[in-house]
Amino acid sequence: LVLAIRRLREIKRVYVPDFQRGLRFVNGAYVNMLGPGSYQIAATREHIEIVDMRPQPVILERTFYRDAWNNTALVSVGADILVSNPHLAGTALKDQINDSLPIARDAVRSALSRGTASDDLDFRTRAVADITQAVNEELDRVGMKIENVEIVEFWLRPIAGEITGVAQ
Amino acid sequence: MELLTTILLLLAYIALIAVAILMGRPSRFTLLEHQRGVLYRRGLPIREVGSGRYWVWTKREKFFWTDTRPIQVAFDNQGAVLKDGATAAFGILGSARITEARKAIYSARNYNQIPAFVFLCCTRAALNGLPAAQLADCKEKLADQIISKARSRLAASGFELLTFRFTQLSVAAGPPRGED
């Protein structure tokens, strides 16, 4: 009876809604991923780490970069960051959103630096596609991704001739 | 007769224990008048509920609730790049509240930050499309433009825009300084 009561005390219930996933560890080793539902675990042996799958909107504000022609430009990007691989994200990152931000910012800068900045609308459309691809390539390594990328602010420093009006 | 009663009582106890094992115990949950909740069963959303008192089976069901009181957003001394490279200094004050709990819960990990994100994105984007010379003349028009954009974006996340206005808007300085 004592053993049964002790065993019952060890049992813990974990509730996983459909916007989260549970990573089940038994004796410290990852076993499987739990979908939506209610689970009973033996707290002494098992541990369930909850990973939130919902997006988090972020703004990568005022990233200065130099494009392929060495022009200085500034860009602010709004996007949703979310988990793509719960196991990888849960084990590779301590704080999934905040730890992804420096990776994303660096990827934005290098993606835009490869091209030529311009003020036209086409550039913004192209830049969004480039940023999404480059950031997702980097974030994929830690089980994260970005969606709904938008350029909320962009500025390209005019070249010297345009400022002074002097023909080069 | 006594034997029959005993057997029936025993069966009732067994049924109760079985229900407790399968569904848990019933538990009461109260939502206040400024709260809206979503009832989940086996991890899936069943229905959205308003204020009141509800019973849930602890093993199968769970409430996730949201606060529908207005969320205030205030930003002061923010900088935005204008179309011609000048910098605008702006401050905004706005508020929004949750109207659809289910949409809000799914919209973000921290859905209380959605109004701030939307207001900032819409304001920066609107200012970025405007040259410094036009800034002073079209402050009202700019606010209307931001409100219209922010309203539809907030509605998509289950929010209602209540107020929005500029507390500060001026051309601050020359172009932003890069890392030359």
B/e letters for B87-116, b = 16+ CB within 10 Å, e = fewer, are bbebbbbbbbbbebbbbbbbbbbebebbbb
**A136 Rama class: left (phi>0) / alpha (psi -120 to 50) / beta:** alpha
E strands, B99-158, where? Answer: none
Task: Tell me if A150 and B125 make a contact (CB, 8 A cut-off).
Answer: yes
Per-residue pLDDT of chain A (168 residues; tens, 9 = 90+): 777 777 777 788 899 999 999 999 999 999 999 999 999 888 888 999 999 999 999 999 888 888 888 888 999 999 999 999 999 999 999 999 999 999 999 999 999 998 888 878 788 889 999 999 999 999 999 999 999 999 999 988 766 444 433 333
Q: What are the tens digits of pLDDT across the range B69-126?
A: 999 999 998 989 888 888 899 999 999 999 999 999 999 999 999 999 999 999 999 9
ipTM of the complex: 0.83
Of the candidates A16, A80, A157, the beta carbon closest to that of B43 is on A16
Rounded alpha-carbon distances, angstroms, from residue A166 to A69, A155, A163:
20, 22, 8
Q: What are the tens digits of pLDDT across the range B148-159?
A: 999 999 999 999
- pLDDT score recorded for residue B179: 46
- pLDDT score recorded for residue B59: 81
Task: For residue A45, give both structure tokens.
Answer: 């042996």
Q: Does residue B39 have a pLDDT over 90?
A: yes
Task: Tell me if B108 and A154 make a contact (CB, 8 A cut-off).
Answer: no
Name residue, tokens 């691989």.
A85
At residue B32 the predicted structure's pLDDT band, cuts being 50, 70 and 90, is: very high
Residues of B in contact with A78 (CB under 8 A): 117, 121
Question: Alpha-carbon distance B142 to B72, whole Å?
Answer: 20
Task: Tell me if B125 and A153 make a contact (CB, 8 A cut-off).
Answer: yes
Best of A15, A41, A48, A150 to disrupt the B interface by mutation (most B CBs within 10 Å)? Answer: A15
What is the separation of C-alpha A128 from the centre of its chain, rounded to a whole number of angstroms?
Answer: 16
Question: A52, A19 in Cβ contact below 8 A?
Answer: yes
Of the candidates B44, B85, B120, the beta carbon closest to that of A18 is on B44
Computed over every residue of chain B, the mean pLDDT equals 88
Question: Alpha-carbon distance B10 to A112, whole Å?
Answer: 74
Report which of B135, B145, B40 is spatially closest to residue A17, judged by C-alpha positions. B40
Of the candidates A17, A35, A155, the beta carbon closest to that of B85 is on A155
- pLDDT score recorded for residue A162: 46
Q: What are the tens digits of pLDDT across the range B56-74?
A: 888 888 989 999 999 999 9
- pLDDT score recorded for residue B71: 96
